[in-house]
Structure 1
Amino acid sequence: MKARQAHDDQLENCRLRMMAERNQLARSLTDTNSCQERVLRQLIAENADTDFGRLHHFSLLGSIADFKKAVPIRDYAEFEPWIDRAADGESNVLTAEDPVLFFMSSGTTGRNKKIPVTRSFMRQSFFPFYFAMWAGLVESVPEALLRDDATYSLKFDPHGRYPSTNSGRPHLGVSQTDFEGIFGESLIEPGTRAPWKHLPVKLADDDHLGRAYARLCMAAQHDLLCIVGLNPAMVAALPRQLALWWPRLAKDIRDGTVGGVPAMTPNPERAATLERLATYFGTLLPSHLWPNLRSLFCWNTGVSSLYMPRLAESFGTNVRVFPAPVAASEGPVAVTVDGHRSAGSPVVAAMLLEFIEADEDILPDSLTLGLSDLDAGREYHVIISQLGGLYRYALGDVVRVVDRLQGVPRLEYAGRRTLSNVAGERLRESQVVRAVKDALLSTGMEIGNVTCHVEQRGDDMGYGVAIAPRGSFQAHEIGALEVRFDRALQDVSRCYRHARESGRLGKSVFHVTEPDAFFREWQARITSGVRPAQAKDRIFTSDAEIWRRLIGRTAEGLRSV
C-alpha cells in the first residue's frame, strides 16, 4: 500500500512540475529581453576562464552586442575540435564544468555528433523545457502520465550498454538517457513506466525492429490512450507495421511468445480479437487495435504536414495531434504553452536565441536578428548560445514565424537548412514542402510521403519528385500536379525561378511510387542499425540507389543533389 502511494505521489508531483514549468515559461514571455540578457550573463560568467572563454575575451563582454562582436557564428564542424578535446577528457575547454555525457545527434555527413551536456545546462535549460513540453498532453489526457499502460512511447528504448567517448563518458540519444540515474531528476515521461519498458526476451541492442516488435506484442494487449513518437516517421510506420505483422502478433499473443520464444502469459482471447478485426477490416489499424486512442505526440510540421492529417485518422477520428517542441539534441528553441496546433513560444530563459533570414547564407559575421525583429510568415535560421558550451552555434534548423503571443513570435519547425543547389536554385526543404502542399491543395490529391532527387535526362537536368500516393492517380492528374508544383516553387524561390527561366533546370517530373515504398526504405534503414528516432523524413535524397528503389526502375544518368 505504501509503495503504491509513493508511486502515485511521484506521478502527481511530476504532473504538477510539468504545469509549473509550462506556466513559468509563459511568464518569461512578458520580459524576453531581460531573460535573454540574464542567460548571456550567466554563460559568460561561468565559462570566462575556459579556453574558449579566454580566446573570445568573455571577461570583457558586457552586452549581447559585445558578445556578437567577439564570437563568430560556427557550425558543428567548426566546434568539433573543441568538442573532441572535451570528449577525450580534457577539462576547461568549452565549459568550466566537465560534461557528464554527450548527446548523440545524426549529422549531415552521416557521423553521429557529440553534444556536450553539463549538469548546469540540464538543470537550468533542459529540464524546465522538458517538463513544460508534456504539460498540454498531460492536461488534456491525464491518464497518459498517471496510468502506466496508457501511453505507448515509440521513442523510449533503454539499453543496457551504450557507446562512450574516449574518456568513458556516455554518448547516447536524448531518448536513451536515464535522467533520474544520471542527474537525480525524477522526470517521468508518459510511456516510460509501461509494462513493456523491459523486453520480455533478450535481443541485441542494434536489433531495433526486433525490439519494436517485442514491445508491440505487449502493447497490443492494453487499452492505449496516447502514442508518443516525436519523430513523425516512427508514427507513420506503425500502421504499416501492424498491417505487416498482425498474423505474427496474433500467433505470439495466443501462445504467450515473442518470435516463438516463451515470454508472456498466453492470451488466446486477445489473439482471437485481433484476427477477427483484421479479417473484418482487411487489415489491422491502430484505431482497430486501440479504439480509445485520444492523442498523438509528435512533430506535425515540415514534411509530416503533408501526410499527418490523414495519417492521424488511422489512429482514430477523434485523435488529437499534440505538437512536439522545436528542439534538437543541442538544445530547445520553442515549446507550445497555449495549445497551438503546430507552433511554440521561444524558450527565452533557456538559451540566447538569434536568427538569420533563411534566404541568406550563414557566415561567421552574419547580421543576426532578435525576437522583436522577426516578421510573421517569414523563415529564419536559428543560432543558439547555451550554458553547455555551444556559443553562437548554427543549429541547422529553419523556423517559420506563425504569429505572435503576448507580442512574442510563435515558431514552428519548417525544415533543415540543407540546400539543394546544382544549378543555382538554392532550394530549401521548406520551400519544396510549401510547393508540394500548394500543388496538392489545387489538385485535390493526397500523398503519404515525398522526396526529391536531381535527374539528368539527356542534356536536360531537373528535379524528380517521388510521391507515395493515397488512392489511384491518373496520368492527367500527375501532369496537373507537375505544372502546379513548378509554378508554386517558382513563386516561393526566386533562385529556382531564375534557374528555370535561364534553362539551367528543366521541368520537375513526378514519379508515383508504390504506396509502401517509403515505409520499406524506412524499415531498411532501421534494419541497417539506424535508431528509429534518428530515421527521419528526407525531402532531398542524394542516394541514387534509394532513388532507384523508390521509383521502381533503373534510372540512367541520375545526378545526386
Structure 2
Amino acid sequence: MNIFIQIFGKIIAPAANRFNRALKKPEITQKNLQKELFRRFTQSEYGKSLNIIHWRQIPIVEYQDIESCINNLTSEPIIFYEKTSGSRSAAKLIPYTKALRRSFNHMFCVWAHDLIVNGPKFSTGRIYFCISPQLTPPADVTTLQDDSQYLDGWLRAILSHFLVSPPGIQHIHNAEEFKHKLSQALLLAEDLEIISIWSPSFLKVILDYIYSHHKQLAESLKTKISAERYNLLLAPPEYSKLWRHLKLISCWDSANAADGAQTLRKLFPGVLVQGKGLLATEAPMTIPLIPAKGCVPMLDEVFFEFEDEKGNIHLLHELKKAEVYEIIISQKGGLYRYRIKDRVRVTHFYHATPCLEFIGRTQEISDLVGEKLHSEFVRQVLDNLPLAETNFKTFIPTHIPTARYILLLDTANTDTLELAEKLDTLLQQSPQYRHARLLDQLAPASIIVNPHAAEILSLHKTREGKKWGDLKHDILNTVPINRELLSELSNVF
C-alpha cells in the first residue's frame, strides 16, 4: 500500500474510532447530540421567534415552511448555499455552515478509513470525484463548484494530490465538451483506482461517450498515452482493460439506482461497486461500512427521528427490524426536525445500532437518475400545457428503452410533437431535470395519446391485487412502468 495512503489512514483513524464507539451506544450518542442541537436552535433567530422550551415543541417542517427564514436558522455564519431539488417547487437552497461541512468531512473520514482497513488494497490512491458541469447560468448565490468542496480545506489539500480533475472542467457550459474533456482526463489516468459519483447513469453516459468516440479520443491522446493504451482505444473499448487498477466505484445503488449500479458491476467485474448510503445535500445520513454489511446512520452528526406508517415518532434506538420509516433529521446547518422525505427499512443491527436501507422517496417524488420530480411541480408544468380538452393525464417514468418520462393522455387537440417539446422545456425549469437532460442521463419527455389509457392502467393494477374501485391515478406515477405495460399503452386501437 502507498505510504501516503497509510499515513492518511493514521490521520483519520481517531475519527473512525470515535464513530465506532458511538455505534455501540446509540441512545447516549443521540441524546448528547440532541442537547447540542437544541442549544444551537435556541440561539438562532428562528428558535428565538418560536419561544420553545422543549424539543418536541419544535415543529416538524418541510422546506416551504422555513423558506422565508432560511437565513435565520442558525447563529453560525453561512459559508455558502447548495442548490437541490425542492419538495414542492423546482429548486431550493440549503445553507451550509462550517459545522455542517465538518459533518460531511467526518463522514468522509469514517468511510475512507473503513476502505483503507477493510476494503481493496489501494496502491495509487488516484480518485475521480464527481464534478458537475455548469450547464445552466451561474446562480446569484455561492454554491459548490465540485463535490470535493463538501470537505474541509485540510482534507481537500491532502486529496488534491490524488484527484483526477482537468482544470476548469466545472466551468464548461456545453454538455458534449464536458463529456469529451472528462473522457480524456479519465483515459489519461491509467492508474485510476477509485471513482466516486452520485448516479450510476452519470458514469454510464461517460462510458458510452468513450465507446462512441474511441478513435477520436485515441488520436487526440496519442502523444500522451502509451502505444499499448493507444491500440486499446483504437478498438471498441473494454473498460476493465482501460482501467486495470480500478478497485472501487462509489455510487447510489438503491431504489431506482439499483439497475444502474448492477450495470456497472457487469462492466467492471472484480471492482467493488459500493452503494453510497443515504447522502443528501441537506445532511450525511447513512454510510456504508464493510464490517457492518450495510449502511449505518451518522448518529454522532445528525439527530434522527423516524415516523412510522401510523404517524408515530420513534428515536434511533427504538427502531425495529424490517420496519419502514420516514426520516426526520436535525443537523448542524440549521435544519431542525426537517422532513427529508426519504424512507428507510431496518435491515439488521451492527453493534447496537440499526442498519438502514434506503427504499425510496415518499410517494410524491419520482427519481430515475437524480432529477427528483415532485408531483406539485409536475402539476404546475401540466397546467401550463394546452390540455383543456383532456380528461385523463398522468406522468409516468420508464427505463424503456432508456430513462425518460412519458405524459399519458386520453386525448389531445395539439400536435403531440410540439406538445412534447413544450413539455420538456417546462420540465427543465427544474435544475436537476435540466442537468440530467443535458448530460443525456434522461431522454426527452414524450407523449402517448390513448383513449383507453385509464382503463389499461386500472386493469394493470388490478392484476397486482388492487381493487379497481379503490384506485387513484396520480398526476405523477413514481414507479417506472415495464416494457409490457408500455407496449400496451402505445398500442392505440
Deviations 1:157-198 (A, max 9, x none): 598x99455xxx622366162745xxx4324686x5457423
Residue in structure 2 matched with residue 137 of structure 1 by the alignment: 115
**Is 1:185 equivalent to 2:154 in the alignment?**
yes
Matching residue within 216, 223, 230 for 1:271: 230
**Is 1:156 equivalent to 2:131 in the alignment?**
yes
Aligned CA distance change for structure 1 residues 450 and 104 (closer, same or farther; 3 Å): closer
* Number of positions where the alignment pairs a residue of Structure 1 with one of Structure 2: 415
Matching residue within 329, 340, 343 for 1:395: 340
- SS class of match (1:186): helix
Identity in percent:
19
Tell me, in whole angstroms, the C-alpha distance in 1 between the residues paired with 2:260 and 2:163: 31
* 8 A Cα contact 1:217 1:249, kept in partner: yes
**Is 1:458 equivalent to 2:451 in the alignment?**
yes
Residue in structure 2 matched with residue 115 of structure 1 by the alignment: 94
Matching residue within 279, 288, 295 for 1:327: 279
**Is 1:356 equivalent to 2:307 in the alignment?**
yes
Aligned CA distance change for structure 1 residues 97 and 302 (closer, same or farther; 3 Å): same
Pairwise CA RMSD of aligned residues?
4.1
Tell me, in whole angstroms, the C-alpha distance in 1 between the residues paired with 2:18 and 2:489: 56
Deviations 1:396-437 (A, max 9, x none): 21112111112321012111213379xxxxxx99xxxxxxxx
Amino acid at match of 2:66: F
- SS class of match (1:308): helix
Amino acid at match of 2:273: V
* 8 A Cα contact 2:124 2:191, kept in partner: no
- SS class of match (1:396): strand
1:228 Cα deviation after fit: 1.8
Residue in structure 2 matched with residue 77 of structure 1 by the alignment: 64
Deviations 1:13-70 (A, max 9, x none): 4322444323322210222122112112112223423221113334x33xxxxx12x1
Residue in structure 1 matched with residue 180 of structure 2 by the alignment: 213
1:212 Cα deviation after fit: 3.5
Matching residue within 148, 165, 181 for 1:197: 165
* 8 A Cα contact 1:337 1:344, kept in partner: yes
1:394 Cα deviation after fit: 0.6
1:14-25 matched pairs, under 5 angstroms: 14-25=8-19
Residue in structure 2 matched with residue 434 of structure 1 by the alignment: none
Tell me, in whole angstroms, the C-alpha distance in 1 between the residues paired with 2:24 and 2:238: 45
Tell me, in whole angstroms, the C-alpha distance in 2 between the residues paired with 1:459 and 1:120: 55
Tell me, in whole angstroms, the C-alpha distance in 2 between the residues paired with 1:29 and 1:289: 40
* 8 A Cα contact 2:251 2:261, kept in partner: no
Residue in structure 1 matched with residue 142 of structure 2 by the alignment: 170
Tell me, in whole angstroms, the C-alpha distance in 2 between the residues paired with 1:380 and 1:270: 49
* 8 A Cα contact 2:94 2:281, kept in partner: yes
* 8 A Cα contact 1:303 1:539, kept in partner: no
Aligned CA distance change for structure 1 residues 162 and 505 (closer, same or farther; 3 Å): closer
Tell me, in whole angstroms, the C-alpha distance in 1 between the residues paired with 2:78 and 2:228: 51
Matching residue within 309, 314, 322 for 1:369: 314
1:311-350 matched pairs, under 5 angstroms: 311-315=264-268, 317-340=269-292, 343-350=294-301
Tell me, in whole angstroms, the C-alpha distance in 2 between the residues paired with 1:220 and 1:306: 25
Amino acid at match of 2:58: V
Amino acid at match of 2:185: M
Tell me, in whole angstroms, the C-alpha distance in 1 between the residues paired with 2:225 and 2:99: 48
- SS class of match (1:336): strand
Tell me, in whole angstroms, the C-alpha distance in 1 between the residues paired with 2:273 and 2:455: 36
Tell me, in whole angstroms, the C-alpha distance in 2 between the residues paired with 1:100 and 1:339: 35
**Is 1:242 equivalent to 2:210 in the alignment?**
yes
1:392 Cα deviation after fit: 0.5
- SS class of match (1:398): strand
1:509-524 matched pairs, under 5 angstroms: none
1:297-308 matched pairs, under 5 angstroms: 297-308=250-261
1:79 Cα deviation after fit: 1.6
Bigger mean CA offset, 215-224 vs 13-22: 13-22
Tell me, in whole angstroms, the C-alpha distance in 2 between the residues paired with 1:239 and 1:72: 46
The normalised TM-score by structure 2 is: 0.71
